[in-house]
Amino acid sequence: MSAVENPRQISGEVLLNVEDISLSFGGVKAIRGVSFNILKGEIRAIIGPNGAGKTSMLNVINGFYHPQEGKITYKGETRSKMRSHVAAKQGIARTFQNVALFKGMSTLDNLMTGRLLKQREGILQQTVDMLLHAVYLGPAKRQEVVERKVVEEIIDFLEIEAIRKTPVGRLPYGLQKRVELGRAIAMEPELLLLDEPMAGMNLEEKGDMSRFIIDLNDQYGTTIALIEHDMGVVMDLSDRVVVLNYGEKIADGTPNEVSANQDVIDAYLGVS
Amino acid sequence: MLYRETGQFKTSYSADQAIFPIFQDRMFILGWLIVAFIAVPLMASEYWFQIILIPFLVFSLATLGLNILVGYCGQISLGTGGFMAVGAFSAYKLATNVPELNIIFVILISGLITALVGILFGLPSLRIKGFYLAVATLAAQFFLIWMFNKFGWFVNYSPSGSIAIPPMEIFGVMVTSAKADPVARYYLALGFTVVLALLAKNLVRGPTGRAWMAIRDMDIAAEIIGIKPLATKLKAFAVSSFFIGVAGALYFSAWSGTAESDAFDINLSFNILFMVIIGGLGSVVGSFMGAAFIVLLPIFLTNLFVGELGFSALTAKHLEITIFGALIIFFLAVEPHGLARMWQVTKEKLRIWPFPH
C-alpha cells in the first residue's frame, strides 16, 4: 500500500454506478429500481431501516447476487454477471455484518488470505507456484516475506500486533471486526464495502473503527461504501448518504440534506 | 521450562516463517529422523519391519493425504481405498510394462495418475458438500474397485486376479518383492514418507494451505476475498490423491509385495478416515500419530489378550474390535481434535512447567 500524494480529493470521477437495479427472491422484491453512484475517493453511506435492502445492495455490487434488472458500471466498464472472486480481482473488497473470518486460522493467516488474489493466474503457473511453495525455496520464500511485510504494515495500522498469532476464533468480537477489516485492506481494494462495521461495539471501539475508516480513506485514498445504523457515525464519517426503504431509494445527498428530508424522517420514525 | 521459546528472538520475517521456528521443535524432528534413519534399522527385526514399521509409514502417508483433503480443505472423502488401489495398480502396470523405469519414478508416476483420478472425482465438490460429497466419493470407491476386478488388463490377465511386484533395484540394491531385504523396503517407504511429509508441511503453511483452510472455514467468504472455489478444491483433491496414490504404490511395492483389489475396499477407506480423526484433523504430525495409534493398537491388544492373558484368538479379535470402536467414540466425545491437540496441550503445559498455570 502506498499513501496517496494529495489525499481527500474527491475528483468527481465516478468509480461505481448502479442504475435501476431490481433484485427479487421469488415474490419478494428486495431492491426495486435503485440507482446511485459512488465517486472515487469518497465515503458513501447506505442507510435505511431493517430489511430495506442495504446488504442485498452490497451483495449485488460485489457479484454475490445477480440482479434481474439494471446495470452496474465499475471503473467505466458495464459488467455482466460475474462471480464474487472476479469482483475481488477487480478491486472490490468487503466485510460482513456477522463476522466472516476463517476461525481456525491465526490473525496473521487471515490477513495473508487477503493477499491470495495477488497470486499468478493460470493452471501451469499455479502448479509451478504450488511446487515452489512445497519445497519453500527461492522465489516462493521471498514472496512469502514480501507478503508478510505488507500484512505486517496492516497489523501495525490496525494496532493488532499483540494478537498476530492468536486463532481468530478466540478473539473478542470487537477485535474480530478489526481483523476482518484488516483482511479486506490486505486485498488493497479500490472500493471497500463495509457492512455494519460498528455493529455491537462499545463507544471506544466505535471510535477506533471510525478512526481506521477515516485514515484508510485519507492516507490511501480507498473509496468506501458503508452500511451503518449508528447515525452519529454516519453523519460524521460520510460525504454522501443514500437512504433505502423497502427496497426503494428515498433520499440521496449530503448528511445534512438527508437528515432534513421528510421521507427519511418518516421512514425512521414512522408517520402519524 | 523444557519447551520454551523464551529468548529465541526472530529478527527477520524469513526466520519467523521457517518451517520449524522453535529450537525445541527442530531438535524433536531431528531426533525422530535419527531414530528412523539410523537407530531403527540397526535394532528392528524382520517382524518389526513387516508388521509395524513399514505399514505404519504407508498408512501415515495415506492419512496425511486424506488429512489434506478432509482436515485442511474440509472436503469429506470415503474413496481413499479406491485411490490407494489406483496407486497400487498403476505401480504394477508401470513396473511390468516399463521394466527399465526406476522404482522411484514408478511410484511418483503412480501418484500422478492417482492425482488425475482424484481431480476427476473431485469435480462434483463444486456443487455438493458435506455428507453428499462423502456419498459421491463413496461411488468412486466402489467404481474403482469394480473396475480393477472387472478388467483383466489391470492385472495383466492373471487368473488369480492378484498382482505381484517384480524385483526392482535402486543403485543396485533390491528394494521390492520378497527377495528384497526388509531394511531396504523400509528405507524406500521412509524416504518417500519423510520427503512428502516435509513438502506437505510447507504446502499447508503457505498460500495453498491458507486457501484450503479458508474454503474449509467459510467458503462464501473465501470466494468473496478472491479465492476460486473449484480450483482450490481441485488442488486439494490432486495433492491429497497424489499422496494417497504414492501410499498405495508403497503399500504394494514396499510392504505387501502382492495385492488384490479387495485389499483396498471400503474398510481401508474407513480405517484411514479413523486415523485422520484420531490423529487430528488439519495436522501433519497428527497424521503420523493417528496412523501409529491404529497400526499399533491391534498388535498391542492381540499380544495382550492372546500372549499374556491366554484368550483364544477369536475372542481376542472380538474384544479388539469392541475396544477399537469404543476408543473411536471416546475420542470423538473427549478430544474431537485428536492426538495432535493432546500433543499441543502437552506442549502448552511444558512451556509453563513446573508451574500449573
Task: Centre a 10 Å sphere on the Cβ of residue B22 and count the other Cβ atoms it contains.
Answer: 14
**Angle formed by the axes of helices A138-158 and A123-135, nearest 10°:** 90
Facing A149 at nearest CB: one of B13, B203, B220: B13
pLDDT at B312: 87
Write out chain A residues lying below 8 Å of B199, CB-based. Answer: 134-135
Facing B202 at nearest CB: one of A87, A105, A136: A136
pLDDT, average across residues A44-48: 94
Q: DSSP string of B228-277?
A: -HHHHHHHHHHHHHHHHHHHHHHIIIIIISEEEGGGGSHHHHHHHHHHHH
Can you tell me the distance from the alpha carbon of B194 to that of B201, in angstroms, rounded to the nearest whole number?
Answer: 11
Can you tell me the distance from the alpha carbon of B42 to that of A75, in angstroms, rounded to the nearest whole number?
Answer: 69
Contact B145, B85 (CB under 8 A): yes
Burial of A247 (0-12, 13-18, 19+ CB in 10 A): buried
B282 to A112: CB separation less than 8 angstroms, yes or no? no
* Cross-strand partners of B175: none
Per-residue pLDDT of B213-227, as tens digits, reads: 999 999 999 999 999
Per-residue pLDDT of B302-326, as tens digits, reads: 888 888 888 888 888 898 889 888 8
Phi, psi of A43 (to 5 degrees): -105, 115
In this predicted structure, the answer to whether residue B24 has a pLDDT above a threshold of 90 is no
pLDDT at B1: 56
Give the chain B residue nearest A185 (alpha carbons). B225
Q: Look over chain B and give the mean of its residue pLDDT values, rounded to a whole number.
A: 91
Phi, psi of B325 (to 5 degrees): -65, -45
Nearest Cα to Cα of residue B103 among B203, B199, B174, B2: B174
Instruction: State percent of chain A over pLDDT 70.
Output: 96
- Name the pLDDT band for B84 (thresholds 50, 70, 90): very high
Write out chain A residues lying below 8 Å of B222, CB-based. Answer: 102, 113
Write out chain A residues lying below 8 Å of B208, CB-based. Answer: 130, 133
Contact B91, B107 (CB under 8 A): yes
In this predicted structure, the answer to whether residue B6 has a pLDDT above a threshold of 80 is no
pLDDT at A15: 92
Facing A183 at nearest CB: one of B202, B225, B282: B225
Contact B137, B79 (CB under 8 A): yes
Amino acid at B10: K
Instruction: State percent of chain A over pLDDT 90.
Output: 67
Lowest mean pLDDT: which of A67-76, A79-88, A137-146, B119-128?
A79-88
* Cross-strand partners of A251: A243
Can you tell me the distance from the alpha carbon of A71 to that of B75, in angstroms, rounded to the nearest whole number?
Answer: 37
Can you tell me the distance from the alpha carbon of A50 to that of A227, in angstroms, rounded to the nearest whole number?
Answer: 11
Contact A39, A11 (CB under 8 A): yes
pLDDT at A3: 47
A113 to B224: CB separation less than 8 angstroms, yes or no? no
Burial of B329 (0-12, 13-18, 19+ CB in 10 A): exposed
B217 to A141: CB separation less than 8 angstroms, yes or no? no
Integer CA distances (angstroms), A90 to A163, A180, B93, B225, B253, in order: 30, 19, 48, 11, 50
Tell me the three cell numbers of residue B126.
463444486
Can you tell me the distance from the alpha carbon of A2 to that of A145, in angstroms, rounded to the nearest whole number?
Answer: 18
Contact B340, B278 (CB under 8 A): no
Per-residue pLDDT of B129-182, as tens digits, reads: 888 999 999 999 999 999 999 999 999 998 888 899 988 888 888 888 878 889
Angle at the Cα of B82 (from B78 to B87), degrees rounded to 5? 130
pLDDT at A55: 92
In this predicted structure, the answer to whether residue A6 has a pLDDT above a threshold of 70 is no
B17 to A89: CB separation less than 8 angstroms, yes or no? no
Beta carbons within 8 Å of A197's beta carbon, 6+ residues apart: A95, A177, A181, A209, A213, A226, A228
Tell me the three cell numbers of residue B310.
491366554
Lowest mean pLDDT: which of A79-88, A159-168, B68-77, B159-168?
A79-88
Can you tell me the distance from the alpha carbon of B2 to that of B217, in angstroms, rounded to the nearest whole number?
Answer: 34
Q: Cis omega before residue B354 (within 30°)?
A: yes
Write down all domains in chain A, each with its CATH number in brackets. Answer: 14-91+189-269 (3.40.50.300)
pLDDT at B4: 72
Phi, psi of B157 (to 5 degrees): 55, 30
Per-residue pLDDT of B254-307, as tens digits, reads: 999 899 999 999 999 999 999 999 999 999 999 999 999 999 988 888 888 888
Nearest Cα to Cα of residue B148 among B98, B89, B94: B89
pTM of the entire predicted model: 0.91
Tell me the three cell numbers of residue A17.
454506478
Contact B212, B49 (CB under 8 A): no
DSSP tag of A25: E
Nearest Cα to Cα of residue B168 among B92, B242, B108: B92
In this predicted structure, the answer to whether residue A10 has a pLDDT above a threshold of 80 is no
Please write down the HEC assignment for all residues of A86-123: HHHHCCEEECCCCCCCCCCCEHHHHHHHCCHHHCCCCH
Residues of B with CB under 8 A from a CB of A: 12-14, 16-17, 19, 199-200, 202-203, 206-208, 210-211, 213-214, 216-218, 220-229, 231, 235, 239, 282
Q: DSSP string of B217-228?
A: H-HHHHHHTT--
B226 to A145: CB separation less than 8 angstroms, yes or no? no
Write out chain A residues lying below 8 Å of B228, CB-based. Answer: 85
Instruction: State percent of chain B over pLDDT 90.
Output: 62
pLDDT, average across residues B244-261: 94
pLDDT, average across residues A149-162: 95
Tell me the three cell numbers of residue B59.
498408512
Q: DSSP string of B11-43?
A: -SHHHHTSSS-SHHHHHHHHHHHHIIIIIHHHH
pLDDT, average across residues A55-70: 91
Facing A100 at nearest CB: one of B19, B202, B221: B221
Facing B203 at nearest CB: one of A93, A112, A133: A133
- Name the pLDDT band for A149 (thresholds 50, 70, 90): very high
Can you tell me the distance from the alpha carbon of A202 to that of A69, in angstroms, rounded to the nearest whole number?
Answer: 39
Give the start-to-end residue ranges of the domains of chain B. 48-265
Residues of A with CB under 8 A from a CB of B: 62, 64, 83-85, 87-89, 93-94, 96, 100-105, 109, 112-117, 119, 126, 129-130, 133-136, 140-141, 144-145, 147-149, 152, 183-184, 187
* Cross-strand partners of A46: A227, A242
Hunting for cell 518389526 — which residue is that?
B48
Beta carbons within 8 Å of B202's beta carbon, 6+ residues apart: A133, A134, A135, A136, B19
Write out chain A residues lying below 8 Å of B218, CB-based. Answer: 100-103
Q: Is the dihedral of CA B273, B277, B283, B285 positive or negative?
A: negative
pLDDT at A153: 95
